[in-house]
Structure 1
Amino acid sequence: MAVLYDEVADAVAADVTAGRVPLVLSGDCTTSLGVVAGLQRAGLDPALVWFDGHGDVQTPETSASGYLGGMPVRQLVGGADRTVAERIGLRVVPEPDVLLVDARDLDPPEEAYLATSAIRRVPVANLGTGLPPHRPVYLHLDVDVVDARDLPGLLFPVPDGPRLPAVAAAVRQVLASCEVVAIGLACTWRSGSGADRAVAELVRELTAGT
């Protein structure tokens, strides 16, 4: 992972240095480690606006599944396993610089951590109250933030969430209000499910703002 994410970091840093806003598509939220490391290599210290149906603040000790995709926010703020982060030179992102959007499906250890953490958490509908307008921002979008009714075939669906138009509107709000310097899109769905067609609309929203 460190080898792969070192390459991601180099590519992101090159894009940012050239004045471009990289859009990184991957099947796992852990790729964000490489994206943020790349922004730091380009001389930026970004705030994070993190859309996700989950909290992604597990550690190897708290996770019942051991799934690494449930840990990247915790890794970015200096917790969980730091092996990859240290090997790619990723500096710790301060907890107050992280805005967790939605995260409606939390395990008890995640609830306990966020209750005392300085990470801020808002629902999609109240996004405007927490945006950092005067900071470079890494916009991360895990498509499972969208209600599972609108994205069939998600590997980790979360019911009772915001519908696709609401998420698209929130993405537009971030792009209009913040200095977005990189975008990560995590797409975890079953091949042939049709989710790709729905996500294509989100990709159009993202690229229209870059």
Structure 2
Amino acid sequence: MTDHSTGDAWDLIVSPWHLDEHIPAFPIPANTTQVVRPTLSPGPVPVRMSLLHQATVDAVTRTARPLVLSGDCPTARAVVAGLQRRQPDLAVLWLDAHGDFNTPAISTSGYLGGMAIAMLTGRTPELFDDALGLRPVAETSVVLADARDLDPAERDALAASQVRRVPADPAAITAALGELGRTPVHVHLDVDVIDSSQLPDLRFPSGPGPSLSQIEECLAAACGTADVVGASIACAWLPDRVSDQTTRDAITRLVRALGADLVWPDPAVQPL
């Protein structure tokens, strides 16, 4: 197993989007390798997302070890598709307050951001074309941590699935990843997994949960246990608060737990 906990550097990619909506205020670290900012023509949201995700796949495939900061969870679909181009098998560790296991058939809101793991595991074929070449990730290769806020039908779907559910606890994550053997892992984190009293102004706060420090420990445990070949962080704050100093501090801590450092530009300097 490659020890990424102290080794290979991350290639930082920023995708400043929530679904198909650009987030102008999204913070872009000075040491960003690539910013995903394609021109999207008017059209249905899934079509626009497919174009955006194709640009993200292209960015991922140009890097050795991608770390993607975005405004939503479905971006992980593009990161995984890009990683699969050089990884014949891939597992996913998903830390989130929500299950992201809804499908168009069971979702009460139709919100695409709540379907991200279902997208990865091939449960939403009607949403997108196959332009990314995404291969469904086996449910037995998905570890879902926390997921304390579930819709009733989503809860039933997860219970009937083979997704491995664990608490957001370093020991539990270490054990679950150990059961996957030598399979390379993509780590995805939605910041709303963290107790909402510690992270104000989230898009979808879920009340009491693990602390920021505990999630840092989970990320460090994952990198110390598995061959973590890619990572994505959904910086799911409200769009006008995503660049606040408190949010930047939280992002910096989470990225550092993965073994990388962020360099923030001078606020007086015009962003990229």
Question: Normalising to structure 2: TM-score of the pair?
Answer: 0.72
Larger radius of gyration: 2
Unaligned runs of 5+ in 2: 1-48, 262-272
Q: 1:189 & 1:119 partners in 2: Cα distance?
A: 27
Partner residue of 2:34? none
Would the aligned equivalents of 1:133 and 1:177 in 2 still touch at CA under 8 Å?
Answer: no
* Distance in 2 of aligned mates of 1:44 and 1:155: 35
Structure 2: distance between partners of 1:105 and 1:32? 20
Mapping for residues 75-94 of structure 1, pairs under 5 Å: 75-84=119-128, 86-94=130-138
Cα RMSD of the aligned pairs, angstroms, is: 1.6
Checking the alignment, whether the CA contact within 8 Å between 2:87 and 2:184 is kept in structure 1 is: no
**Structure 2 SS opposite 1:79:** coil
The corresponding residue for 2:69 is 25
Cα contact 1:48–1:137 (8 A) shared by 2 = yes
Offset, 1:135: 1.1
The alpha carbon displacement at 1:150 in A equals 1.1
Q: What is the alpha-carbon distance in structure 1 between the residues aligned to residue 232 and residue 144 of structure 2? A: 14
Q: What is the Cα deviation at residue 133 of structure 1? A: 4.5
| Equivalent residue number for residue 178 of structure 1 | 226
**Contact in 1 for aligned 2:195/2:211 (Cα 8 Å):** yes
1-side partners of 2:176 and 2:237: how far apart? 29
Residues 188 and 201 (structure 1), Cα distance of their counterparts in 2 relative to 1, 3 Å cut: same
Moved more, 2-11 or 136-145: 2-11
Which structure has greater helix proportion? Answer: 1
1:143/1:116 CA distance change after superposition, 3 Å: same
Unmatched tracts of structure 1, length 5 or more? none
36 and 82 in structure 1: CA distance in 2 versus 1, 3 angstrom threshold: farther
Contact 2:93/2:185 (8 A) holds in 1:
yes
Equivalent pair of 1:59/1:81 in contact (CA under 8 Å): no
The sequence identity of aligned pairs, in percent, is 44
TM-score (norm 1): 0.92
CA drift of 1:82 comes to 4.4
Find the aligned partners of 1:94 and 1:162 in 2 and give their Cα distance.
27
Q: 1:25 to 1:122 in 2, by over 3 A?
A: same
Residues 1:196 and 2:242 are matched in the alignment:
no
Q: How big is the shift at 1:152?
A: 0.9
**Aligned length in residues:** 205
Q: 1:49, 1:98 within 8 Å by CA — same for their partners in 2?
A: yes
